[in-house]
Amino acid sequence: MPGGVAFVSGISGTGTGEYLQRVVEEARAVGHEHEVEVHDVGQIMREHAERDTPGVNWDLILDADEVQLRLLRSLALQQVASSVAAQPAALHLIDMHLSFRWRAFLTKGIDVHALEPFRPIVRCFVNLIQDLSQLQERLKSTSWGERGILQLLVWRDEELFLSTLYGDMLDRTSCVVLPVAEPPAMLERIIWHPEVRRVYLSFPITAIQDDHSAREEIRQFRDRLREFAVVFDPYASKDYDETYTRPEMLALQKEIGDVARVRDYRFIDQAEAVVVYYPKRVASKGVDAEMAHAHKSGKPIYIYCPEDLGGGPFAVPPSHFRSDPGQYLTLLREHLGRRS
């Protein structure tokens, strides 16, 4: 499909617009011959509101009557649909919010029936996630004001849930979750290059938290892996790390930990293999849990460790093990390189 549509969602404060502009710049930098268009549904709604109702206070638009909001959403998506029809060969990235927590309750950001015209040409849904502390900081200087970490945690999870649900409703269209801390080249590859395989990188975090050399070794390995694969990095979201330094987040350590664990499992589910990297032999309950999840879902597991990990009869057996870093990368290139 040379063109088509990709719906990109994220809650307010995520910075989806800025991220998508960087994706477009990345696509142009690598020489894409197909045109790319970005449609900001919220901005289009604002243009209609300001044209038809001069003096409207857009910062408080979510206090407007639901009938007015429904009309604005409909007009915006009709305009997007017209642009898509006029440029069928272009890839259209549609930036939108599926939900809002403007007040204490959840409200819709899109009417699902309005997505129906796009059904035949939808490539995927993409849900972008921002770290909780960054969301809080970005929103407090806007009309959203001060927002609690728990409210943002729940709202962000609801947006992901709706992205998955809407994707299922449109003929089980795939939904990819991606932290905005990941390089935009990742989304460029996911959308334009299905031949590039997706892998989840698993590694010990807590056990090497103060070992800068080990962390740098993992970072360098991740960058080498990204030369030939899409790599989902659990460290692209640092919410749980901040529970050790921010009192508001420490009080929610269990909830943030639960969400982080399920999010990492989601990364594994949208990958084709799990690549485990131990810079040294250490115990890691997180890696063990991720390997168990991958094993249950039938994903191959590749492990590097400079020494034998050992393990009892209940340990998850890897598909492949290497103790030499060069041999490990060679193995990964052979097994996880681009599809022909």
288-302 tens-digit pLDDT: 999 999 999 999 999
Measured CA distances, 169 to 115, 164, 219, 250 (Å)? 10, 9, 38, 37
Classify residue 245 by its DSSP letter. T
Residues 274/202, Cβ–Cβ less than 8 Å: yes
- The whole-number pLDDT of residue 27 equals 82
Higher pLDDT, 335 or 310: 335
Q: How far apart are CA 204 and CA 182, in angstroms?
A: 19
In this predicted model, what pLDDT tens digit does every residue of 52-89 receive, in sequence order? 888 889 999 999 999 999 999 999 999 999 999 999 99
Classify residue 317 by its DSSP letter. P
To the nearest whole percent, how much of the chain has pLDDT over 90? 82
Q: How far apart are CA 284 and CA 275, in angstroms?
A: 15
- The whole-number pLDDT of residue 338 equals 86
* Mean of all residue pLDDT scores within the chain: 93
- The whole-number pLDDT of residue 184 equals 93
**Predicted confidence (pLDDT) at residue 48 exceeds the cutoff of 70:** yes
Q: How far apart are CA 93 and CA 220, in angstroms?
A: 31
In this predicted model, what pLDDT tens digit does every residue of 170-222 receive, in sequence order? 877 789 999 999 999 999 899 888 899 999 999 999 889 889 999 999 999 99
- The whole-number pLDDT of residue 177 equals 97
18 is written with which tokens?
A: 């800025």
Mean pLDDT of 2-23: 94
Measured CA distances, 232 to 9, 42, 194, 237, 251 (Å)? 18, 29, 15, 11, 28
Residues 151/253, Cβ–Cβ less than 8 Å: no
Q: How far apart are CA 292 and CA 274, in angstroms?
A: 11
Q: How confident is the model at residue 150 (pLDDT cuts 50, 70, 90)?
A: very high
- The whole-number pLDDT of residue 236 equals 96
CATH numbers and ranges of domains, the chain: 1-194 (3.40.50.300), 196-340 (3.40.50.450)
Q: How confident is the model at residue 306 (pLDDT cuts 50, 70, 90)?
A: very high
In this predicted model, what pLDDT tens digit does every residue of 79-133 receive, in sequence order? 999 999 999 999 999 999 999 999 989 999 999 899 999 999 999 999 999 999 9
125 is written with which tokens?
A: 């849904």
Return the C-alpha torsion angle 241, 239, 14, 31, nearest 10.
60
Residues 339/197, Cβ–Cβ less than 8 Å: yes
**Predicted confidence (pLDDT) at residue 29 exceeds the cutoff of 70:** yes
Higher pLDDT, 29 or 128: 128
Residues 191/124, Cβ–Cβ less than 8 Å: yes
CA 104 vs. chain centroid, Å, equals: 25
Q: How far apart are CA 321 and CA 305, in angstroms?
A: 8
Helices (H), the chain: 16-29, 41-52, 66-86, 132-140, 149-169, 184-192, 212-225, 239-242, 247-250, 253-269, 285-296, 325-336
Q: In what order do the strands lie in the sheet with 320-322?
A: 230-232, 198-202, 273-277, 301-304, 320-322
What string of DSSP letters covers 136-177? HHHHHTSTT----HHHHHHHHHHHHHHHHHHHHHTTS--EEE
Closest CA to 160 of 233, 65, 237, 103: 237
The helix or strand, by DSSP H or E, that contains position 304, with its residue range, turns out to be strand 301-304
